[in-house]
């Protein structure tokens, strides 16, 4: 070491208590991550913010591809293209079907891409003892519990009796399927005077959800309440209720805290909004990928990210309102 360099080192140690760090090449060891959510919607947009914040904090690169519409036939070719790039080490994905996405994701694994599922899971979601164990983890809501919370909220809003209807998106999607299961379970076990008259699938279209709910309102003039199991279902259900002039009479419970749902809550159309925590899902998933790449072996196979239950009484409480989905430009 030259005298000059020695002087610099000594000054650094004296002034900052620092010793120059020997480069381990750690920067190059950071993984490159793919992010493939289910569809363009405020829920996944907030998740993307979490992914990006986490990636920025850790200095990793993320490649994001968001399908324009929901479905295996749209998500699989995007996944295949991400595999074909050949530069991704991890994939953070919300599988759009709990069975049909197993094969395409096994292909990713065979190509050396490790998988973390967010929001939705594969198989039965039990990556320890279930039929699918290859993903590192499932990070998302306990949607069966979310369905139970929604059922109790709707039951209370309608006074514990009457007919209720579920509007949902697609079959075989772990998230919305779990919500309907939890909802039906509570209605059957805790509310003998409530009848669940049916469930429609809107295929992730708010317009379809609106039409389906309008048809039910016509068919069942004494309908007391509707459970909308996600953004599109709840927004469509609420719109149909308002269009029929039944806002406040037919109660709506909305899963997902979009601005639209919150406006309907303030207007009295919606009695409860269940906020998930998509930011946390995305943030944690990136942390998990980086931890796994660094050799951490104790990552939990399942992380439940929890909910915020939003009603007219707490919607302005900042501790609750921070879970309303805020997306740039909204
Ligand atoms: O409800 C979320 C998500 O949890 C679900 O899996 C699909 O729909 C949303 O993205 C809302 O549109």
Structural domain contains residue 122: yes
229 in ligand 1 pocket by Cβ < 6 Å? no
Residues 73 and 198 grouped into a single domain: no
Report the DSSP beta bridge partners of residue 226.
Answer: 165, 252
Lay out the sheet containing 302-304: strands in order across.
61-64, 32-36, 90-93, 114-118, 138-140, 302-304
Same structural domain, 7 and 59? yes
Task: Say if 286 falls within a structural domain.
Answer: yes
Residue 39, φ and ψ in degrees, nearest 5: -170, 165
* Domain extent for 77: 3-141+277-305
DSSP symbols for 217-251: HHH-TTEEEEEE-SHHHHHHHHHHHHHTT-BTTBE
- Is 121 close to ligand 1, i.e. is its CB under 6 Å away? no
Q: Do residues 287 and 58 lie in contact, with contact meaning Cβ atoms separated by under 8 Å?
A: yes
* Threshold 0.85, pTM exceeds: yes
Q: Is residue 14 part of a domain?
A: yes
Same domain, 296 and 242: no
For 76-125, the pLDDT digits (tens) are: 999 999 999 999 999 999 999 999 999 999 999 999 999 999 999 999 99
256 shares its domain with 288: no
Shared domain for 21 and 84, answered yes or no, is yes
Distance separating alpha carbons of residues 299 and 297, to the nearest angstrom: 6
Residue 320 lies in a domain: no
Domain total of the chain = 2
pLDDT band for position 22 (cuts 50, 70, 90): very low
Phi, psi at 190, each rounded to 5° = -115, -15
Q: Indicate whether 54 and 70 sit together in one domain.
A: yes
Q: Is 260 in the pocket of ligand 1 (CB under 6 A)?
A: no
For residues 125 and 86, state if they share a domain. Answer: yes
Q: Does any domain span residue 36? A: yes
Q: Which atom of ligand 1 is closest in space to residue 140's alpha carbon? A: 4
Higher pLDDT, 9 or 265: 265
Distance 177 CA to ligand 1 centre (A): 11
Query: pLDDT tens for residues 205-256?
Result: 999 999 999 999 999 999 999 999 999 999 999 999 999 999 999 999 999 9
Query: Which of 275, 292, 316 corresponds to the end of one domain?
Result: 275
| Same domain for 198 and 106 | no
Q: Is the pLDDT of residue 1 over 50?
A: no
Same domain, 203 and 267: yes
201 in the same domain as 52: no
**Does the residue 116 lie in any domain?**
yes
Quick one: 19 and 131 in the same domain?
A: yes
| Distance from Cα 13 to the centre of ligand 1, integer Å | 52
pLDDT digit string, tens, across residues 285-316: 999 999 999 999 999 999 999 999 999 999 99
Residue 328 — pLDDT band, cuts 50, 70, 90? confident
Tokens standing for residue 27? 């920067």
Q: How confident is the model at residue 201 (pLDDT cuts 50, 70, 90)?
A: very high
Ligand 1: atom nearest CA of 120 is 6
Confidence (pLDDT) at 330: 66
314 lies in some domain: no
CA of 231 to the centre of ligand 1 (A): 6
Q: Does 58 fall in a domain?
A: yes
How is residue 58 written in tokens?
Answer: 């850790």
Whether 256 lines ligand 1, by a CB cut-off of 6 Å, is yes
Which of 43, 174, 229, 254 maximizes ligand 1 atoms within 8 Å of its Cβ, making it the mutation to test the pocket?
A: 43
Domain identity same for 234 and 261: yes
Is the C-beta atom of 38 inside 6 A of ligand 1?
yes
CATH number for the domain spanning 161: value is 3.40.50.2300
Please work out whether the CB of residue 43 comes within 6 Å of at least one atom of ligand 1. Answer: yes
**Closest protein CA for atom 7 of ligand 1:** 230
Tell me if 41 CB under 6 Å of ligand 1. yes
Residue 180: HSE in the Cβ half-sphere, 13 Å Cα cutoff: 23
For ligand 1, atom 1, name the residue with the nearest CA: 230
Q: Above pLDDT 90, what percent of the chain?
A: 90
């Amino acid at each position: 070491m030259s005298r000059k360099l020695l002087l610099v080192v000594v000054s650094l140690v004296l002034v900052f208590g620092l010793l120059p760090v020997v480069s381990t090449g750690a920067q190059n060891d950071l993984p490159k991550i793919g992010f493939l959510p289910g569809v363009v919607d405020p829920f996944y947009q907030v998740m993307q913010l979490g992914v990006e914040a986490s990636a920025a904090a850790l200095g990793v690169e993320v490649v994001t591809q968001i399908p324009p519409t929901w479905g295996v036939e749209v998500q699989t070719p995007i996944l295949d293209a991400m595999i074909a790039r050949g530069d991704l080490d991890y994939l953070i994905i919300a599988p759009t079907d709990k069975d049909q996405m197993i094969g395409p994701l096994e292909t990713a694994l065979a190509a050396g891409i490790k998988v973390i599922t967010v929001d939705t899971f594969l198989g039965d979601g039990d990556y320890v003892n279930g039929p699918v164990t290859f993903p590192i983890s499932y990070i998302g809501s306990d949607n069966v519990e979310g369905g139970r919370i929604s059922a109790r909220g709707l039951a209370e809003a309608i006074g514990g009796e009457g007919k209720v209807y579920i509007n949902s998106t697609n079959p075989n999607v772990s998230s919305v399927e779990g919500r309907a299961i939890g909802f039906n379970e509570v209605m059957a076990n805790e509310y003998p005077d409530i009848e669940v008259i049916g469930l429609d699938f809107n295929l992730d279209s708010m317009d379809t959800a609106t039409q389906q709910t309008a048809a039910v309102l016509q068919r069942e003039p004494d309908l007391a309440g509707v459970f909308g199991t996600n953004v599109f279902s709840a927004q469509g259900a609420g719109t149909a209720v308002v269009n029929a002039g039944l806002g406040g009479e037919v109660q709506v419970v909305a899963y997902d805290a979009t601005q639209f749902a919150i406006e309907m809550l303030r207007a009295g159309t919606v009695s409860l909004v269940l906020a998930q925590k998509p930011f946390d899902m995305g943030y944690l998933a990136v942390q998990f990928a980086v931890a796994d790449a660094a050799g951490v072996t104790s990552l939990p196979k399942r992380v439940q990210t929890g909910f915020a239950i939003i009603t007219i009484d707490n919607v302005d409480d900042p501790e609750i309102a921070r879970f309303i989905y805020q997306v740039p430009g909204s």
